[in-house]
Amino acid sequence: MAMRRFWNEVAPVAAAEGFAIHLDGRPLRLPEGDALCVPSAALADAIAEEWRGLGPEFSYDDVPLTRMIGTGVTRIAAAPAPTIAALARYGESDLLCYRADTQTALAERQRERWQPWLDWAARVLDAPLMVTDGVMPCPQPPASLAALRAALAREEPVRLAALAVLVPALGSLVLGLAVAAGALDGAEALALAELDALFQEDIWGRDETATARRARLAGEVATAARILTLTRHC
């Protein structure tokens, strides 16, 4: 739905619970009516710049940071447990744990590029995960799943909102948490998540449908990763 610009000045403002955005001195409110408040000055500055750049008419597709953060403000902040539970389930079937047959070139590429991030999860998150060949379910150690859930529970609602986009896009909780920690950037995480598809493209050529899908995911991943970067030390 198109909306009209009604303000001239945009400014981030310190507030009791973080940083708000004011449009001509009035708090920016989300469609549900909640005032937008974020936990870091850097993120508030980025949102303010997003709103300064709008033309006479715009839609919420033109403010991707605001739209993604709105989920954290309106849905997650009051009840984070369902989001944490939904994201934690990705640890039970993390993409990085499911490999091609061990004697193939694809399996070797997966081992080279994916295993370091499983090693990172074991070392940094205390969450070692099991690896299997094929697609049959591979039960994970309960202690590791608990550690992954605990890592999610430490995140602020705005960061959970970003992870709620990032983790499904990647199919990997480990990669999502690595981006959240600053150990991995969003573009590299997406390349790792798309490793199988890119491997097939090397052999058979580019598929336009897959390329369009990847471009859409790249935009979502970039926005989510930017939020995580701008709120990393909150």
Distances (CA, A) of 28 to 19, 24, 35, 133, 175: 11, 10, 6, 50, 33
27 and 93 housed in the same domain: no
pLDDT at residue number 14: 94
Domain termination site, one of 37, 61, 76: 76
CATH number at residue 159: 1.10.3580.10
The pLDDT tens digits of the residues spanning 71-110 come to 888 889 889 999 999 999 999 999 999 999 877 899 999 9
Query: Is the entire prediction scored with pTM above 0.85?
Result: yes
The pLDDT tens digits of the residues spanning 21-56 come to 999 999 999 888 888 999 999 999 999 999 999 999
d(CA 13, CA 233): 19
146 and 88 housed in the same domain: yes
d(CA 179, CA 112): 19
49 and 85 housed in the same domain: no
Q: Which residues, in sequence order, are CB contacts of 37 under 8 Å at separation 6+? A: 15, 17, 18, 19, 20, 73
52 and 164 housed in the same domain: no
Highest mean pLDDT among 7-11, 130-134, 145-149: 145-149
114 and 216 housed in the same domain: yes
Domain termination site, one of 41, 76, 111: 76
For 97, list phi and psi in degrees, rounded to 5: -90, -10
182 has pLDDT over 80: yes
Structure-token pair, residue 180: 């959240």
Domain termination site, one of 76, 110, 127: 76
110 and 162 housed in the same domain: yes
d(CA 121, CA 128): 6
pLDDT at residue number 203: 79
28 and 54 housed in the same domain: yes
101 and 14 housed in the same domain: no
Report helix, strand or coil for 165.
Answer: helix
Residue predicted with more confidence, 41 or 233: 41
pLDDT at residue number 35: 87
Amino acid, res. 214: R
Q: Which residue range forms the structural domain that includes residue 211?
A: 81-230
69 and 36 housed in the same domain: yes
141 and 68 housed in the same domain: no
184 and 144 housed in the same domain: yes
CATH number at residue 53: 3.30.2180.10
92 and 69 housed in the same domain: no
Average pLDDT, the chain: 93
How many independent structural domains does the chain possess?
Answer: 2
